[in-house]
Amino acid sequence: MPLIDMPDFADDLLSLFRELKTERVDTPVIQPAEPFLDMAGEDLRRRIFLTESETGVSLCLRPEFTIPVCLRHIESATGTPKRYAYLGQVFRQRRGGANEFYQAGIEDLGDKDVASADARAVADALACLQKVLPARAFAVTIGDQAVFEAVVAALGLPTGWQRRLVRAFGQTDVLEAMIARLARPEAMAGLPAEVEALLEAGDDAALVAHVSAEMERTGYLTNASRAPDEIVRRLKEKRVLAGASLDATKLDALKEFLSLNVSLRYAPGVLADFAKAANLPLEAAIAGFDARVAAFANAGASLADITWRAAFGRPLDYYTGLVFEITERGGHDVLIGGGRFDRMMTLLGAKDHIPAVGFSMWLDRIEKAKEAQR
What 3-state DSSP class applies to 235? helix
> Do 305 and 352 reside in the same domain of the chain?
no
Residue 367, pLDDT score: 94
Looking at the structure, tell me whether residues 301 and 352 fall in a common domain: no
pLDDT of 253? 93
Q: Check residue 205 and give its pLDDT.
A: 82
The mean pLDDT value for 310-336 works out to 92
Cα 170 from Cα 195, distance rounded (Å):
37
Q: How far apart are CA 371 and CA 203, in angstroms?
A: 69
Q: For 266-297, give the DSSP string.
A: THHHHHHHHHHHHT---HHHHHHHHHHHHHHH
pLDDT-based confidence at 259, cuts 50/70/90?
A: very high
Q: How many domains does the chain have?
A: 3
Does the pLDDT of residue 374 top 80, yes or no?
Answer: no
**Nearest alpha-carbon partner for 140 in 319, 363, 328:** 328
Claim to verify: residue 226 and residue 338 sit in the same structural domain: no
Does residue 28 have a cis bond before it (omega within 30 degrees)? no
Same domain, 232 and 267: no
Q: What is the pTM of this model?
A: 0.83
Domain termination site, one of 175, 209, 243:
243
Residue 43 banded pLDDT, cuts 50, 70, 90: confident
pLDDT classification of 191: cutoffs 50, 70, 90: low
pLDDT at 1: 41
pLDDT at 268: 97
| 130 and 33 inside one domain | yes
Q: What is the pLDDT of residue 122?
A: 97
Q: Are 236 and 200 contained in the same domain? A: yes
Query: Does 210 or 175 have the greater pLDDT score?
Result: 175
Q: Is 160 helix (H, G, I), strand (E, B) or coil?
A: helix
pLDDT, tens only, 94-111:
877 789 999 999 999 999
| Least trusted range by pLDDT, from 28-42, 155-169, 209-223, 350-364 | 209-223
Are 255 and 236 within one domain? no
Q: Domain boundary residue among 328, 348, 364? A: 328
- Answer yes or no: are the C-beta atoms of 47 and 77 closer than 8 Å: no
Output the DSSP codes for 15-83: HHHHHTT-EE----SEEESHHHHHHS-HHHHTT--EEE-TTS-EEEE---SHHHHHHHHHHHT--SSEE
Same domain, 23 and 166: no
What 8-state DSSP symbol labels residue 221? G
Domain around 205: 193-243
Q: Are residues 133 and 149 in the same domain?
A: no
Give the CATH number, domain containing residue 155: 3.30.930.10
One domain for residues 267 and 323: yes
Residues 167 and 297 in one domain: yes
Taking residues 21-46, what's their average pLDDT?
A: 89
Report strand pairing: 138-144 vs 58-61: unpaired
Beta bridge partners of 106: 85, 359
More confident residue, 49 or 186: 49
Least confident span in 36-45, 217-226, 335-344: 217-226
Predicted confidence at residue 267, as pLDDT, reads: 97
Mean pLDDT of 57-68: 94
pLDDT at 238 over 80: no
* Domain shared by 213 and 324, yes or no: no
Residues with Cβ within 8 Å of residue 156, at least 6 apart in sequence: 250
